[in-house]
Copies of this chain bind each other. A is one copy, B any other.
């Protein structure tokens, strides 16, 4: 990059981050009720723009209207979820150990709770213009935590992002909050992103996108004099194990279920089942045959944008050119424009185990079926797979009893393990984990979906010997917020 450009972006980033820090210093003092009302106001504001938002997003992303409408509802639902998390209040994990003057030496009064980390940088995702972008889960959870937010619009849907930001701006005004509590920036390249992440006021980063993009941002953060946490959700092929008895019993049903999951959203989901593992035999043959029939029927839809389509072409061709990889079926429909033809390929497990290329994510409707000689080889193949967001097992009761070692292996691979369903479809709830061991994410200890996502933007702070009046409400003796707290090692929602 030219030095001049870097200089310019660095000056721009400094202004933005100074504003973000000032907004943080103001916003972090807001109580739970104020922050909850703000999140609800953003949701209402987005709802008031629903029609134009959907139309703009459709133009920019080619996603179908019902999907975009559903995604807006998911987005406002997430904002409401975090408002509820704030109003319930136990997310601060308050703990109180009261003073004990009878002990030698006397024990002081010690209390702790989670406090916001500081300004957060959020990168919009290409595949979810609403739910993982401008006012998506990262922004909603960071604002709930008490952080100010700087959003970098995804270049592929900047108009949509600008519109969502307009809705956020209205909510800021109506809520009488610091005008820079949420800021919105655009940049075609990486220079501004790097300058923002490396600015001393940046406290954490949220990212959903490619492995290359996530690793670059993680690298920027680690180059800092003071490193900061990066929550990048990057890459997952979501291995599905089709166990022998299940495959024998229901080859057609499995094929139908998985054809739909593989081609949902033209394979542009982080949880797309990109890898299926099974032992060869009659059930396997029938499954492939039915899968072929189902995939053949799928009408291609345009991908999100031309760049993603070009990447898909390049990446899927690379897979298909590998030795011993053979195409099982490709959609029988006519390809046009940036519409990919969904494709299923097959490879012997022995080849899969040796070849690293076959273990990389292909973003789009390609799934690789690994044909194993026996269950032992299937386990070997699975052992070669890197960290994942999800892993699934399709199994009868007989399978579940028989293959406990493979199920244990699956539990060590991913953040979510699913029995007899599909990995696509990520519920927004308290028990969800949308995360997993590297390279699925940069930090397997956290989730980016569900109420626990708020924990990414906080750190614990301990107050020792504080007079009651100076403590935050969450830690006061009277428990004015009526939250659950651990008091002298006992969980209680009573006052002291």
For A400, the closest partner residue in chain B by CB is B470
Question: 10 tightest CB-CB pairs across the interface, nearest first?
Answer: A433-B462, A416-B462, A95-B431, A418-B464, A97-B429, A110-B431, A95-B430, A112-B431, A444-B459, A97-B431
In the complex, identify which listed stretch (A52-60, A251-259, A286-294, A483-491) lies at the interface while the others stay far away. Answer: A483-491
Q: Is the CB of A438 within 8 A of B387?
A: no
CB pairs A–B below 8 angstroms (5 shown): A397-B467, A418-B464, A419-B465, A419-B467, A430-B489
Which residues from B are CB-within-8-Å of A466?
A: 417, 419
Q: Is the CB of A489 within 8 A of B452?
A: no
In the complex, identify which listed stretch (A126-134, A157-165, A222-230) lies at the interface while the others stay far away. Answer: A222-230
For A452, the closest partner residue in chain B by CB is B460
How many angstroms from the CA of A386 to the CA of B227 in the assembled complex? 12
In the complex, identify which listed stretch (A1-9, A188-196, A300-308, A420-428) lies at the interface while the others stay far away. Answer: A420-428
Which residues from B are CB-within-8-Å of A459?
A: 415, 435, 437, 444-445
Asked if A16 is at the interface of the complex by the 8 Å CB criterion, the answer is no
Asked if A31 is at the interface of the complex by the 8 Å CB criterion, the answer is no
Q: How far is the CB of A404 from chain B (nearest CB, A)?
A: 9
Q: Is the CB of A460 within 8 A of B489?
A: no
How many angstroms from the CA of A433 to the CA of B464 in the assembled complex? 10
Q: Is the CB of A427 within 8 A of B108?
A: yes
Q: Is the CB of B115 within 8 A of A411?
A: yes
Which residues from B are CB-within-8-Å of A489?
A: 84, 88, 430
Q: Is the CB of A445 within 8 A of B427?
A: no
Which residue of B387, B425, B432, B437 is within 8 Å of A105 (Cβ)? B425
Which residues from B are CB-within-8-Å of A467?
A: 397, 400, 419
Number of copies of chain A assembled together: 2
Asked if A61 is at the interface of the complex by the 8 Å CB criterion, the answer is no
Q: A452-B460, A462-B415, A462-B416 are in contact. Are A438 and B226 (CB under 8 A)?
A: yes
Interface membership of chain A positions 395-425, coded 1 if the CB is closer than 8 angstroms to chain B and 0 otherwise: 0010010000001100110111111110001
Q: Is the CB of A112 within 8 A of B421?
A: no
How many angstroms from the CA of A445 to the CA of B411 in the assembled complex? 25
Q: Is the CB of A464 within 8 A of B416?
A: yes
Q: Is the CB of A431 within 8 A of B222?
A: no
Q: How far is the CB of A496 from chain B (nearest CB, A)?
A: 13
Find residues 465-484 in chain A having any chain B CB closer than 8 Å to their own CB.
465-467, 470, 484
Asked if A197 is at the interface of the complex by the 8 Å CB criterion, the answer is no
Which residues from B are CB-within-8-Å of A97?
A: 427, 429-432
Centre residue among A88, A227, A397 by max chain B CB count within 10 A: A227
Q: Is the CB of B418 within 8 A of A96?
A: no
Q: Is the CB of B491 within 8 A of A420?
A: no
Asked if A261 is at the interface of the complex by the 8 Å CB criterion, the answer is no
Asked if A439 is at the interface of the complex by the 8 Å CB criterion, the answer is yes
Which residues from B are CB-within-8-Å of A419?
A: 464-467, 470
Which residues from B are CB-within-8-Å of A118?
A: 412
Interface membership of chain A positions 67-106, coded 1 if the CB is closer than 8 angstroms to chain B and 0 otherwise: 0000000000000000010001010000111000000010
Q: Is the CB of A433 within 8 A of B229?
A: no
How many angstroms from the CA of A411 to the CA of B475 in the assembled complex? 15
How many angstroms from the CA of A174 to the CA of B115 in the assembled complex? 43
Centre residue among A90, A112, A227, A411 by max chain B CB count within 10 A: A112
Centre residue among A112, A397, A460, A470 by max chain B CB count within 10 A: A460
For A464, the closest partner residue in chain B by CB is B418
